[in-house]
Amino acid sequence: MSTMNALVLEDNPRITGLYEKIFASVGFEVDFVFDKFSCIDKFLNPDKDYDFVILEKSAKFDESVNLEDKILSMNPRQKIFFLSPYMSARSSEFDSLSETMNLIDKPFAMVSLLSYLELNAPAIPQ
């Protein structure tokens, strides 16, 4: 199995450190960004693809576009996972989540997260 590549938007250095240790333990290669602009910059590099992107929550990229929609406009097949204590998959606003986006409730066990990602973020065919 090839190495999985991930992009994680996380502004808390302590959480980033936790992610680094957990993902390294299973051989995932992870790029971390601390804000939405750095996140989008990663998609401007045509030499790197991500198997999945982890966002804490849906956020506005600008006045009219959500960050996840901006990512999908640059790569329509990009898998995006939301890790949030503030959103519920049972909420009506998520009735229309596309097949490229999934919601993982917090709190969550990192082992469960890794298992979920391995099952739901297969490598994008080149």
End-to-end CA distance of the chain: 15
Query: Where does the pLDDT of residue 1 fall: very low under 50, low under 70, confident under 90, or very high at 90 and above?
Result: low
- State the DSSP H helix or E strand holding residue 81, giving kind and residue range, or none if neither: strand 80-84
User: Could you give the angle at which helices 110-120 and 13-25 cross, rounded to 10 degrees?
Assistant: 60
Whole-structure pTM value: 0.71
What CATH code is assigned to 5-120? 3.40.50.2300
- State the DSSP H helix or E strand holding residue 54, giving kind and residue range, or none if neither: strand 52-55
Q: Per residue in 6-51, pLDDT tens?
A: 999 988 888 888 888 888 888 899 999 999 999 999 999 878 899 9
More confident residue, 101 or 112: 112
Cα separation of 88 and 4, whole Å? Answer: 27
